[in-house]
Structure 1
Amino acid sequence: MDLATEQALRQQIFDALARIVAENGVVTREQLSAFSLGATTRRLIDQSRGIWNPRDMSATLAVVSSPDGPYADVEVEGGLFRYDYRAGSTGGDNTKLRAAYELQLPIILLLKIDNGVYVPIFPVYVVGDDLAARQFMLAVDENLRFLTAGGQHSIAERRYAERIARYRLHQAEFRGRVLRAYQTQCAVCSLRHGRLLDAAHIISDRAEGGEPVVPNGLSMCKIHHAAFDGNLLGISPDCTIHINNDLLHETDGPMLRHGLQEMHGQVLVLPVRRAERPDRERLAARWAEFE
């Protein structure tokens, strides 16, 4: 296919992926193996290798980064992600990933979080190709394409890049893991519409102990997330929900009554796996801010 057609197809894939991620936070290998695009399907992941190079495309479409894989893929300072060459020659599967760099075609970075489960980051751009180190450098956001590994960037540029990368990588993975742990429902009201769900931090990601890990997260609908962040809703260490006293006695419409006041005294919906349930020490620290 010609380059314009390929660019349009990639955008169509990204748009369809975005709808799935908005609802579920993650995508499965089964979905990626026969990804629905209207009346057709396309494979978005290789059967066994980390780099997926469709025959009818001029460049790589997707790469997998696995924490238990043989490669040292890692986020590096300045908002870039280092992706190792596939073992063997500098050619092979690496050739089409190099073509993505040369043609500046966007790709998908699939972060593996469990067997057959991925958080897709897209569009991602290859912005560097280090033959000596056998590594590609990926920019995880279109706005970071100006970055180069080891380049001379201002403090403001580096801070901007790191903020964008933190949101695109850490927050996306955090949301995917948290929504999956809570089976895509609000821990407060059990709402199951994924597009209305966030991954709320118990301890802020700007504070000590605020790592983007599931025990520091709660799946919350947007109104309960906002109430939690504003200390209008608190959660005690025993996972009981509490509503701010002034709000509890306020008179307003049905949203206040049913959405907040009636949640007072209820117990959180918790993940099935104990290891994914809210950390009691973090809850206690956050509860102290609410009391």
Structure 2
Amino acid sequence: MDTAVEAQLRKQIIAWVHQRAEANGGFLHRQELLGYRTGGRDLPLIDFSRGIRNPAGFGSTLAIVQSAHGPYDDAEDPEDGLLHYAYRKGDPDGGDNRKLRNAIETGMPLILFRKEQPNYYTPIAPVYVVDDVPEERAFLIALDESFRYMGDVRHLGDDQRRYALRLAKQRLHQPAFRTRVLLAYETQCAVCQLKHGALLDAAHIAPDSAEHGIPITPNGLALCKIHHAAFDQNMLGISPDYVVHIDRDLLEEVDGPMLQHGLQEMHGRALTLPARRADHPDRDLLSSRWRAFARTR
């Protein structure tokens, strides 16, 4: 395939992946990725059984898959803010590794799919293969194209490392957090049960800037955008016994139907909880947040 044609096709694929993921709530199902078609032909975006996708005719790797192995994965940053992607098994110069290595030369963007749980993937794109580290039998994957022009990415300066870690938080950790929280709540608002993924957020109970604000499901709530904003502004509080409360002044206010039905009628509701107890909101974190809400009442 001509390089320019491949580059344009990748741009089209990445745009489609972002569009579908946002409509779902930040993630895609395995069948969506396997069923992708373009130009009248099938072009699966993940492999049926391997963690790398190298379509026939592509000069460079299209997509790689990273599995999340535990609930604290996203609380642990790599030291340099880059992903270390292991060589594919077998010949280090074999086809899969050769196409990954070729991505360094061509600068072609890849898609990183984070497999949060069976059949569900968070897309991170574009990402770039920026170096080959034979002694580690690994490739370095950057979350921003600028790392292609930073010289020796194995020894980043302090400012570059801080930038890489900030990108990892913004582009890798937070989207993965959203996916895990929305899946735990079956893609519905915990307050009002709205089920449109594009209108849902993963709200932090303890802010991510706080000591206990790590991006794990018990520190998250699936909330629609209006209830997320109300929660952040202490107009809506959730007590440690999982009951929704609306600010007293707001309860007494007279306005249109959005205030009445969207907020005032939520007062006293029981929070809709995830099926798995391990995913329930942490009561200690809610207690701390509840005290902040109560002080404003």
SS in 1 for 2:135: coil
Match of 1:125 among 123, 128, 131: 128
SS in 2 for 1:118: strand
1:38 is displaced (CA, Å) by 7.4
- Give the equivalent residue in structure 1 for 2:6: 6
- Give the equivalent residue in structure 2 for 1:48: 49
Match of 2:244 among 227, 241, 244: 241
- Give the equivalent residue in structure 2 for 1:81: 83
Distance 1:240 1:152 in 2: 48
Amino acid of the structure 1 residue aligned with 2:198 = R
Is the alpha carbon distance of 1:37 and 1:195 closer, same or farther for their aligned partners in structure 2, counting shifts above 3 Å? farther
Of the structure 1 ranges 2-11 and 36-45, higher mean CA displacement relative to structure 2 is found in 36-45
Amino acid of the structure 2 residue aligned with 1:10 = R
> What pairs with 1:223-238 in structure 2 (closer than 5 Å)?
223-238=226-241
- Give the equivalent residue in structure 1 for 2:92: 90
% identical equivalent positions? 53
Is the alpha carbon distance of 1:250 and 1:214 closer, same or farther for their aligned partners in structure 2, counting shifts above 3 Å? same
| 8 A Cα contact 1:224 1:233, kept in partner | yes
| 8 A Cα contact 1:16 1:37, kept in partner | no
Match of 1:101 among 99, 104, 109: 104
1:22 is displaced (CA, Å) by 0.7
1:37 is displaced (CA, Å) by 4.2
Distance 1:102 1:196 in 2: 39
1:43 is displaced (CA, Å) by 0.8
| 8 A Cα contact 1:185 1:192, kept in partner | yes
Distance 1:159 1:20 in 2: 31
- Give the equivalent residue in structure 2 for 1:151: 155
CA-atom RMSD, angstroms?
A: 2.0
Amino acid of the structure 1 residue aligned with 2:266 = M
Is the alpha carbon distance of 1:265 and 1:163 closer, same or farther for their aligned partners in structure 2, counting shifts above 3 Å? same
1:28 is displaced (CA, Å) by 2.3
Distance 2:168 2:146 in 1: 10
Is the alpha carbon distance of 1:283 and 1:135 closer, same or farther for their aligned partners in structure 2, counting shifts above 3 Å? same
| 8 A Cα contact 2:35 2:42, kept in partner | yes
Listed one character per residue, the Cα deviations across residues 251-288 of structure 1 (whole Å, up to 9, x for unaligned) are: 22222121111111111121112211211111111111
1:36 is displaced (CA, Å) by 4.1
Distance 2:141 2:106 in 1: 14
SS in 2 for 1:76: coil
- Give the equivalent residue in structure 1 for 2:166: 163
- Give the equivalent residue in structure 2 for 1:61: 62
Distance 2:39 2:247 in 1: 47
Amino acid of the structure 1 residue aligned with 2:59 = S
Distance 1:222 1:192 in 2: 12
- Give the equivalent residue in structure 2 for 1:251: 254
| 8 A Cα contact 2:80 2:156, kept in partner | no
Is the alpha carbon distance of 1:109 and 1:188 closer, same or farther for their aligned partners in structure 2, counting shifts above 3 Å? same
Stretches of structure 2 that go unaligned for 5 or more consecutive residues are: 71-75
- Give the equivalent residue in structure 2 for 1:32: 33
| 8 A Cα contact 2:147 2:153, kept in partner | no
1:40 is displaced (CA, Å) by 4.3
1:201 is displaced (CA, Å) by 0.5
Is the alpha carbon distance of 1:240 and 1:38 closer, same or farther for their aligned partners in structure 2, counting shifts above 3 Å? farther
Is the alpha carbon distance of 1:38 and 1:248 closer, same or farther for their aligned partners in structure 2, counting shifts above 3 Å? farther
1:142 is displaced (CA, Å) by 3.6
Of the structure 1 ranges 24-33 and 268-277, higher mean CA displacement relative to structure 2 is found in 24-33
Is the alpha carbon distance of 1:68 and 1:266 closer, same or farther for their aligned partners in structure 2, counting shifts above 3 Å? closer
- Give the equivalent residue in structure 1 for 2:141: 138
Amino acid of the structure 1 residue aligned with 2:153 = A
| 8 A Cα contact 2:130 2:147, kept in partner | no
1:50 is displaced (CA, Å) by 1.6
TM-score computed with the length of structure 2 as normaliser: 0.90
1:225 is displaced (CA, Å) by 0.7
Match of 2:184 among 181, 184, 204: 181
TM-score computed with the length of structure 1 as normaliser: 0.92
| 8 A Cα contact 2:37 2:44, kept in partner | no
